[in-house]
């Protein structure tokens, strides 16, 4: 869509959706202005604009340079229409924010439902058609979770494909930057733009979106997690997951129902330990100064890191490497691993239990085991709420992940669906 069209939709629908923390009118243009419209998670620096990070007190009141990912989008002709809401300091999967407010999931105009986190505003903006594509960060599922519950595509690369310069951290061991869009091709092409070496850190060569989107994956062998290995699932999530597997089989793929090694099932807690331990060490001074105006649940999560010793953190890193080696060896027999993205659809915000994190139960493994992954919509529940299919790939194999997602998208009955926004504007 054109920037003019995007801004018109933002003005009409965002007063209630609250996807954006700041709208750029006129948009921020690069060398040209003929590319897609893009929204940036408010964890990434845009020169001259405060980086709020979902907090009352900005993380940086006046960055002087763009994050590398933002600069690359501008150079490629994307038009930046604003910055989107995030869970405070990106530390939460529900999409709640008691510091500066939370967006509204656009699939239910009557009930304020969880938008998913932490890239909540980015998913809402894309789902509601307020922009073509958005950036998010993903440390334990923060691109894929909101994508799943808002009915869009969320693409998370493996570590080292996209520069993190100018992106405020939660856990340097786990952080990645990904893309959200209404279709796989748009998400993949945006990933291609933001990927590649940044001159300083060890970033891999750019992602080739066109190669991925034209790869024939018929005959590929995929592992699908058994229902009994997935814990408590909403019945509609289970139904739509099994239907997605049948669609992939019909599209010519070989689907093995296979139980992954223990490393996958047990990655949830150690991933959380790394987030708390590293995150507290990064943000302890901010917490000491500003705890009274922070979301109290975010403070509680970071305080867990206070009790994690340096020795425990070092041991967690060693165990992670062992777990990665074991899992990567198992996954080498397959082209990808399938599961639901989230075990439940978006609940009402009033019902959320902040002491639990079910939305990230099936997503944290990708970060802990350093795997590329994508969430693609696979249907609606009987209540009309979106459900996502997660495809995880072998290390550094974003190409196959995108190729598989594009193949599923072609045989799904999803493409073109969008929420009814009449109740929002």
pLDDT in tens, 316-368: 999 999 999 999 999 999 999 999 999 999 999 999 999 999 999 999 999 99
What is the residue-wise DSSP string for 176-210? EEEEEESSHHHHHHHHHHHBS--SSS-PPPPP-HH
pLDDT at position 405 is: 98
pLDDT digits 0-9 by tens, 238-250: 999 999 999 999 9
pLDDT at position 187 is: 98
Q: How far apart are CA 184 and CA 181, in angstroms?
A: 7
What is the per-residue burial (b if ≥16 Cβ within 10 Å, else e) of 50-81? bbbbbbeeebeeebeebbbbbbbbbebebbbb
Residue of 120, 122, 142, 339 marked catalytic:
142
The band of 159, judged by pLDDT with boundaries at 50, 70 and 90, is very high
Q: How far apart are CA 187 and CA 403, in angstroms?
A: 12
What is the residue-wise DSSP string for 342-401? -SS-PPBGGG--TT--GGGTTTHHHHHTT--EEEEEEEE-TTS-EEEEEEE-STT-HHHH
Query: Would residue 360 show up in a list of annotated catalytic residues for this protein?
Result: no
pLDDT at position 201 is: 67
- What percent of the chain clears pLDDT 70, i.e. is strictly above it? 99
Query: Would residue 118 show up in a list of annotated catalytic residues for this protein?
Result: yes
pLDDT of residue 417 exceeding 90, the answer is yes
pLDDT of residue 202 exceeding 70, the answer is no
Q: What is the average pLDDT across 380-402? A: 98
Residue of 18, 79, 83, 118 marked catalytic:
118
pLDDT at position 335 is: 98
The band of 71, judged by pLDDT with boundaries at 50, 70 and 90, is very high
Residue of 41, 83, 156, 165 marked catalytic:
41
pLDDT digits 0-9 by tens, 278-292: 999 999 999 999 999
Q: How far apart are CA 275 and CA 173, in angstroms?
A: 8
Q: What is the mean pLDDT of the chain?
A: 96
The band of 415, judged by pLDDT with boundaries at 50, 70 and 90, is confident
Residue 368 makes CB contacts below 8 A (sequence gap 6+) with 174, 267, 270, 271, 274, 320, 323, 324
230 contacts 338 by C-beta, under 8 angstroms: no
The band of 180, judged by pLDDT with boundaries at 50, 70 and 90, is very high
The band of 293, judged by pLDDT with boundaries at 50, 70 and 90, is very high
Q: How far apart are CA 411 and CA 39, in angstroms?
A: 29
pLDDT of residue 122 exceeding 80, the answer is yes
pLDDT at position 262 is: 80
Query: Would residue 79 show up in a list of annotated catalytic residues for this protein?
Result: no
pLDDT digits 0-9 by tens, 82-107: 999 999 999 999 999 999 999 999 99
pTM of the model: 0.98
Sheet holding 37-41, edge to edge: 20-28, 79-84, 37-41, 133-138, 176-181, 153-156, 373-380, 386-392, 336-340, 221-224, 254-257
pLDDT of residue 10 exceeding 70, the answer is yes
pLDDT at position 34 is: 81
334 contacts 222 by C-beta, under 8 angstroms: yes
Extract the tokens encoding 166. Answer: 């100018």
pLDDT digits 0-9 by tens, 248-271: 999 999 999 999 988 787 899 999
pLDDT at position 280 is: 98
- What percent of the chain clears pLDDT 90, i.e. is strictly above it? 94
């Amino acid at each position: 869509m054109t920037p003019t069209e995007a801004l018109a939709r933002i003005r009409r629908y965002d007063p209630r959706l609250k996807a954006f923390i700041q709208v750029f009118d006129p948009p921020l243009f690069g060398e040209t202005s003929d590319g897609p419209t893009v929204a940036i998670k408010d964890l990434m620096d845009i020169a001259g604009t405060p980086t709020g990070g979902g907090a009352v007190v900005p993380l940086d009141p006046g960055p002087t340079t763009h994050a590398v990912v933002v600069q690359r989008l501008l150079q490629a002709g994307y038009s930046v229409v604003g910055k989107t809401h995030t869970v405070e300091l990106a530390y939460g999967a529900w999409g709640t924010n008691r510091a500066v407010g939370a967006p509204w999931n656009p699939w239910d105009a009557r009930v304020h439902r969880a938008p998913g986190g932490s890239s909540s505003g980015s998913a809402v903006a894309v789902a509601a058609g307020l922009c073509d594509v958005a950036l998010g960060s993903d440390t334990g599922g923060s691109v894929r979770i909101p994508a799943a519950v808002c009915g869009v595509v969320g693409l998370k690369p493996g570590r080292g494909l996209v520069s993190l310069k100018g992106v405020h951290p939660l856990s340097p061991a786990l952080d990645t930057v990904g893309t959200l869009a209404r279709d796989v091709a748009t998400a993949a092409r945006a990933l291609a733009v933001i990927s590649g070496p940044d001159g300083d850190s060890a970033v891999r060569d750019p992602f080739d979106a066109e190669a991925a989107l034209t790869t024939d994956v018929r005959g590929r062998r995929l592992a699908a997690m058994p229902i009994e290995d997935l814990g408590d699932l909403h019945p509609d999530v289970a139904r739509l997951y099994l239907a997605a597997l049948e669609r992939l089989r019909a599209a010519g793929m070989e689907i093995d129902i296979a139980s992954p090694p223990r490393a996958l099932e047990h990655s949830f807690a150690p991933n959380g330990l790394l987030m708390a331990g590293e995150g507290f060490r990064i943000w302890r001074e901010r917490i000491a100064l500003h705890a009274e105006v922070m979301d109290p649940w975010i403070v509680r999560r970071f305080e867990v890191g206070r009790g994690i010793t340096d020795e425990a953190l070092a041991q967690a890193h060693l165990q992670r490497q062992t777990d990665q080696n074991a899992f990567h060896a198992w996954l080498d027999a397959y082209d990808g691993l399938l599961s639901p993205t989230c075990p439940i659809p978006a609940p009402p915000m009033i019902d959320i239990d902040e002491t639990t994190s079910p939305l990230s139960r099936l997503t944290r493994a990708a970060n802990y085991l350093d795997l590329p992954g994508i969430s693609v919509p696979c249907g609606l529940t009987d209540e009309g709420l979106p459900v996502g299919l997660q495809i995880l790939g072998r290390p550094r194999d974003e190409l196959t992940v995108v190729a598989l997602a594009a193949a599923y998208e072609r045989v799904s009955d999803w493409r073109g669906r969008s929420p009814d926004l009449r109740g929002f504007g």
